[in-house]
């Protein structure tokens, strides 16, 4: 079975070397196209293994390791030319499984990955309900949204409303449809309560930097929008 590996490494030459050698062992290797959207790639690709450098554009590898660990137990190995013991300690504290110094021998790296996969062969992708929206990570099982290192908790009604709006993202959902779905889920709200919940949801999203992502279409309903990059 092919193992999908996400390589979070901005040195294209190193990435290409890893990809070429790992392909010989039936590893499917990919990398983020945009290093500000690492979590989007992780959620979309669902890798079974992650290799990550420390020095990266925008956010460092420690940041991305911490973000991945919030939603997954996938094995992680750090790759870095830095040799200070504190870097290794930090990597382990962030949840990494190993630390490999550059330059490294590719066959040794492959062997480390294979060994770690064998030790975690009972690893299965967690059944957490995770979505990515405008670079915010939404964990429906925890009722949490994280964006720019900020995390908020939503009430059950707020979360349900957001789930419905995201199911029809960039499309209008009428107030009647929203209330009908809430009632179908035995969440008995009236027209005024719906307005309160939507406004509270907007306020919470604005508080973490996601302003104007749920808009009102007067006389029609609400729409969760995808912001332009």
Mean pLDDT of 185-200: 80
Domain count, the chain: 2
Is residue 142 domain-shared with residue 113, that is, in the same domain? Answer: no
48 three-class SS: coil
Find how far residue 50's CA is from the centre of its chain: 13
- Residue 83 has a pLDDT of 80
Terminal Cα distance for the chain, rounded: 36
Q: For residue 173, what is the domain's CATH number?
A: 1.10.10.10
Could you say which of 119, 154, 174 is where a domain stops? 119
Residue 185: pLDDT band (50, 70, 90) is low
Q: Is 124 inside any structural domain?
A: no
Calpha distance 204→211 (Å, rounded) = 9
Counting every residue, how long is the chain?
229
Q: For the chain, give the percent of residues with pLDDT over 90.
A: 59
pLDDT digits (tens, 9 = 90+) for 5-37: 999 999 999 999 999 999 999 999 999 999 999
Q: Is 217 inside any structural domain?
A: yes
Q: Residue 62: which domain range?
A: 3-119
pTM above 0.85, yes or no: no
Could you say which of 85, 119, 153 is where a domain stops? 119
Calpha distance 150→106 (Å, rounded) = 37
Q: Is 229 inside any structural domain?
A: no
Q: Is 34 inside any structural domain?
A: yes
Is residue 17 domain-shared with residue 88, that is, in the same domain? Answer: yes
Q: Is 104 inside any structural domain?
A: yes
Is residue 35 domain-shared with residue 94, that is, in the same domain? Answer: yes
Q: Is 125 inside any structural domain?
A: no
Calpha distance 88→85 (Å, rounded) = 5
Residue 217: pLDDT band (50, 70, 90) is very high
What sign does the dihedral 61-129-157-190 (CA atoms) show?
A: positive
Is residue 32 domain-shared with residue 76, that is, in the same domain? Answer: yes
Is residue 112 domain-shared with residue 137, that is, in the same domain? Answer: no
Could you say which of 119, 147, 164 is where a domain stops? 119
Is residue 81 domain-shared with residue 177, that is, in the same domain? Answer: no
Token pair belonging to 210: 């996601």
Is residue 112 domain-shared with residue 147, that is, in the same domain? Answer: no
Residue 186: pLDDT band (50, 70, 90) is low
Residue 1: pLDDT band (50, 70, 90) is low
Q: For residue 54, what is the domain's CATH number?
A: 3.40.50.2300
Token pair belonging to 180: 């009908």
Please report the beta strands in 102-163, taking only residues with DSSP state E, as ranges in sequence order: 130-133, 136-139, 144-147, 150-153
Is residue 138 domain-shared with residue 108, that is, in the same domain? Answer: no
- Residue 119 has a pLDDT of 75
Is residue 96 domain-shared with residue 45, that is, in the same domain? Answer: yes
Q: Is 176 inside any structural domain?
A: yes
Is residue 79 domain-shared with residue 165, that is, in the same domain? Answer: no
Token pair belonging to 48: 């079974």
- Residue 157 has a pLDDT of 86
Residue 94: pLDDT band (50, 70, 90) is confident
Is residue 101 domain-shared with residue 135, that is, in the same domain? Answer: no
Is residue 113 domain-shared with residue 165, that is, in the same domain? Answer: no
């Amino acid at each position: 079975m092919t193992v999908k590996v996400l390589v979070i490494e901005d040195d294209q030459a190193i990435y290409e070397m890893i990809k070429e050698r790992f392909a010989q062992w039936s590893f499917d290797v990919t990398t983020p196209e945009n290093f500000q959207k690492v979590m989007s790639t992780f959620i979309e690709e669902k890798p079974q293994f992650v290799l990550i450098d420390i020095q990266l554009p925008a956010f460092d590898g420690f940041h991305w390791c911490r973000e991945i660990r919030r939603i997954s137990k996938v094995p992680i190995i750090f790759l870095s030319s830095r040799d200070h013991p504190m870097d290794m300690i930090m990597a382990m504290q962030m949840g990494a499984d190993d630390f490999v110094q550059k330059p490294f021998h590719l066959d040794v790296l492959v062997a480390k990955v294979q060994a770690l996969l064998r030790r975690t062969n009972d690893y299965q992708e967690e059944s957490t309900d995770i979505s990515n929206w405008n670079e915010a990570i939404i964990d429906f099982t925890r009722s949490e949204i994280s964006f720019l290192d900020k995390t908020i908790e939503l009430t059950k009604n707020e979360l349900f409303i957001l789930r419905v709006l995201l199911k029809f993202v960039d499309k209008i959902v009428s107030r009647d449809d929203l209330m009908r779905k809430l009632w179908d889920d035995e969440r008995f709200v009236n027209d005024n309560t719906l307005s309160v919940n939507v406004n509270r949801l907007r306020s919470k999203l604005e508080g973490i930097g996601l302003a104007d992502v749920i808009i009102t279409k007067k006389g029609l309903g609400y729409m969760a929008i995808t912001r332009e990059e």
